[in-house]
Homo-oligomer: A and B are copies of this chain.
Amino acid sequence: MFGVTILGNNSALPAYDRHPTAQIVTLNDQLFLIDCGEGTQMQLSRYKIRRSKISHIFISHLHGDHYFGLPGLLTSFSLMNREQDLHLHAPEPLKRILELQFSTADTRFSYKLLFHALGDEGVIVDDEKFTVETFKVFHRIDCWGFVIREKKKPRKIDMEKLAGKDIPAIFYERLKAGEDYITKSGERIANESVTIANTAAKSYGFCGDTIYNETICKHLNDITLLYHEATFLKDQEERAASRFHSTTIQAAKIAQTAKPKRLLIGHFSSKYEILDAFLEETVAVFPQTQLALEGVTYIIK
C-alpha cells in the first residue's frame, strides 16, 4: 500500500475543526510524517494511526503551523517508551529550538532522535525500497518540497516461458533487472520474452507553502500524486502572492506542467468555511484534482 492520509488541511489559523498541516504517508509497513502542526498527535489518535510505525519525519519549513506539534509528539513517543530510532529531516534551526525546549524540560528520551538538516537539493533518504528527494520551494522563509518514490521494481520471471530456455538460475536476478541473456552459442534471449513487467514505481510529491513558481516542476518528473498548496481562491491572486502562497489556478497550472496522474490541494485559508469552490476552480484547469480532506487516505496508484 502506498497512500497519504491528511491530518491537517488548513492554513495557519485553525478553524472549522480544520487543523494545521500534517500528512502521514504509508509505504507498505512504514509511515512517514510530513509536517507536524499543533495537535498532530491528537489527530494521529483520532484517526487511529499507529504512530510507532513512523520512521521518518519531514518538516518543510519553520512556520509554526508546520511544526508546533512536533515537540509534543517527540515527547509522547518517549512517554510511550518508543525504542526504535526516529529520523527527523528539517531546516537546521529546528535542532537548536528542540534542544532548548528539551533541555529546559529536562526531557529524557527512550529512543534515538537522528536530526538531518535540510540543505542541498537531491536525495536525502535512499532506502532499499524507496527514495526521498528534497528541493526548494518559494516561501517567505526557507521552505522545502519532498518527493517520495518507490524504487523501480524488478521484473517478474515468467516461469512458463522460461521452461524451454537454457538460462542458468544464477542469471535470474539480472533477468529481473531487465537484462537480455546471451547463450553460450551466442544466441540472444530477449528479456521481454521471459519476464513480465512489475507494477510501475509510484511516487508522491509534496509542495507545501509556496508562491506560484513554475521552476519547481523540474523536480516533479513522473509524479503519481502531487500535493500542492492552494491557500486562496483565484480572485485572491494578489493576496496569495503577498503572503508567498498560491491560488487554486496556480496549483492547477503547476500540475498542467508537471503532469502528475492526480493533484491534491490543501492548506486552505481559514477565511473559507466551505471548500467547494476550491475544487471547482482547480478541476476547470486540471481535471484530476481532489481536495485534501482530514481523515481521508488518498491511495497513490
A residues contacting B by CB (< 8 A) are 12-15, 19-20, 38-39, 41-42, 45, 62-65, 68-69, 71-72, 75-76, 79-80, 93-94, 96-97, 100-101, 104-107, 140-141
Nearest first, the 6 closest Cβ-Cβ pairs linking A and B are A38-B72, A68-B72, A93-B104, A13-B79, A39-B39, A62-B104
Copies in the complex: 2
Q: Are A75 and B64 in contact, with the CB atoms below 8 A?
A: yes
Decide yes or no: A14 and B141 within 8 Å by CB, A64-B71, A71-B68, A72-B68 being known contacts.
Answer: no
Query: Contact between A12 and B64 (Cβ–Cβ < 8 Å)?
Result: no
Rounded to whole angstroms, the CA-CA distance of A93 and B105 in the bound complex is 10
Say how far A208's CB is from chain B's closest CB, in angstroms.
14
A198 to chain B, nearest CB (A): 42
- A45 to B72 Cα, complex, angstroms: 20
Among B45, B64, B93, B100, which residue has its beta carbon within 8 angstroms of that of A14? B45
Please state if A12 and B69 are interface contacts (CB–CB under 8 Å).
Answer: no
Which residues on B sit within 8 Å (CB–CB) of A140? 106
**Inter-subunit contact B68/A42 (CB<8 Å):** no
Asked if A97 contacts B93 (CB within 8 A), the reply is: no
- Distance in Å: Cβ of A234 to nearest Cβ of chain B: 22
